[in-house]
Amino acid sequence: MTTPTIAQYLKYANLQMAAEAFLVDSQDKPLTGQQYIDALVRGNNHASYFTETEAIKFERDWEVVDQCKNTPTGFSGTLFRNKTTNEYVLSFRSTEAYDDAIRDSASTNTLEIHSTGWAWGQISDMEAWYASIKSQIDGPLNVTGYSLGGHLATTFNLLHQNEINQVFTFNGAGVGEVKTGHALAETIAYFDSLRRTDAQGAANRLVALDLTQLESQAY
């Protein structure tokens, strides 16, 4: 793989910043036209947003194919398509430290990534979402992630490296490791089996699970 250029880093950083915004309507349909531009200018209502000029150019080049706004675990991702080249980009949203602190910071970052090395709940939701949109991807696929999203992008690469070209992470959280004898996909499947039969809330669930059974550790 060739070393990315500065222009490529800027391109994928802009895609990541776009994914921090909310780009679907109340019916979960992708925004278009001026509504799309306005959403990019609003950004995440904090520090990540486009200028009007940047937003107009981005809207001209990229369409939103699908966005998963926020699952019960706090997972969010966006699938973009370049209108000219048919390139697809999966971008995973970062930690919403202010607006979704319980699910992203307390549950995912502290109870899961810090304690076990993996954001089990959000990874599970990421896999389910990808399975639901995979059939819409008919061109080359790249992936981006920032912070928590970087953790998800790295995990996605481990699970689907034969399906993607490149992964761009920005200040990404690291990942753990799965001990000898257990594949990551197998471990996630085991988590899913526990999740389906456990009625506890997302934060309490990870405390209650015997994570030693997952045979994983953070580093």
Q: How many CB atoms lie within 10 A of CB 169?
A: 22
The pLDDT of residue 96: 62
* Domain map (residue ranges) of the chain: 6-217
What letter does residue 20 receive in the DSSP assignment?
A: T
218: confidence class by pLDDT, cuts 50, 70, 90: very low
Which of the four CATH numbers 3.40.50, 3.30.2030, 1.10.3470, 1.25.40 does domain 6-217 have? 3.40.50
Residue percentage of the chain with pLDDT more than 90: 59
Residue percentage of the chain with pLDDT more than 70: 80
168-197 tens-digit pLDDT? 999 887 788 877 567 889 888 888 888 776
Q: Is residue 80 helix, strand or coil?
A: strand
In whole angstroms, give the CA distance from residue 94 to residue 15.
13
The pLDDT of residue 41: 97
CB 90 within 8 A of CB 157: no
118-132 tens-digit pLDDT? 999 999 999 999 999
- For the stretch 190-200, what's the b/e string if a residue is b when 16 or more beta carbons lie within 10 angstroms of its beta carbon? ebeebbeeeee
